[in-house]
Amino acid sequence: MYRILVTGSTGQLGLSLKHTAQDFSDLHFDFKSSNELDITNPNELAKALITGRYDFCINCAAYTNVEQAEKHPDLAFKINAEGVKYIAELCRDQNITLIHISTDYVFDGEKKGPYLVDDQPNPINVYGASKLKGEQFIQKIIPNHFIIRTSWLYNKKHGHNFYRTILNKAKAGEELRITDDQKGCPTDTEALANFILKEIVSANKPYGIYHYTNGEPTTWYGFAKQILRENGLEETANLVLDRNYRTLAKRPKNSVLACQ
């Protein structure tokens, strides 16, 4: 029976892994929230990884607020890069396979078609740069790793995400001003959790970088329309296409990932 540590377990992917874990009775899980296990604290991390006798570590802990990362780059790099470095070193020393969740934002969005795993990253915001640095630490430090790049994560039942925000605002009768100048693939965390446990942990795939999404390429505006349609709100919601929408962080115009 594999023993698996999941960090950042109260995030939407961590919660989805906890739910999906019920279907994998042959795996033993230890779920740790960021409050229970701080990946930026080497001593705390070492104690957990050395005593846990784990076979896998699924790192879901991350600083994911793209806008706030521009204001607090040191914190973003501390969690997304330095914390990942500590995990990689300890996993290497304890012979633990590291499964790390990364992002489409490692790319600049200038490519016309979907991004392949071996395309050259070139992040255009702090969040993407911090996540890329984490990837680079892993590749340098530990051979037995999986880096899973994914995009536009959402869960219909929990977490702060685009799907739930659109749905709640529509039900409240609020105006929805959404841009269509970014293209990507929405990814349900339940599907991603199943991919991690079924295709990565249980299938003995080769180590390396993987891309995973389970939605069709669309814009944020297109995704909003899909959400409203799924919930019978398309005719009543006040959805407005906003081509003047501005954010502090630059966003890649195309971050569609080509999946294996």
Whether 127 sits among the annotated catalytic residues: the reply is yes
Rounded-to-integer distance, Cα 14 and Cα 167, Å: 22
Rounded-to-integer distance, Cα 239 and Cα 236, Å: 9
Contact 224, 176 (CB under 8 A): yes
DSSP code for 40: T
Rounded-to-integer distance, Cα 96 and Cα 6, Å: 12
Catalytic site residue from 127, 163, 212, 221? 127
Rounded-to-integer distance, Cα 238 and Cα 173, Å: 7
Q: Show the tokens assigned to 119.
A: 């395309």
Sign of the CA dihedral with 75 first, then 152, 138, and 120 last: negative
Helix (H) or strand (E) holding 51: helix 42-52
Catalytic residues, by residue number, are 127
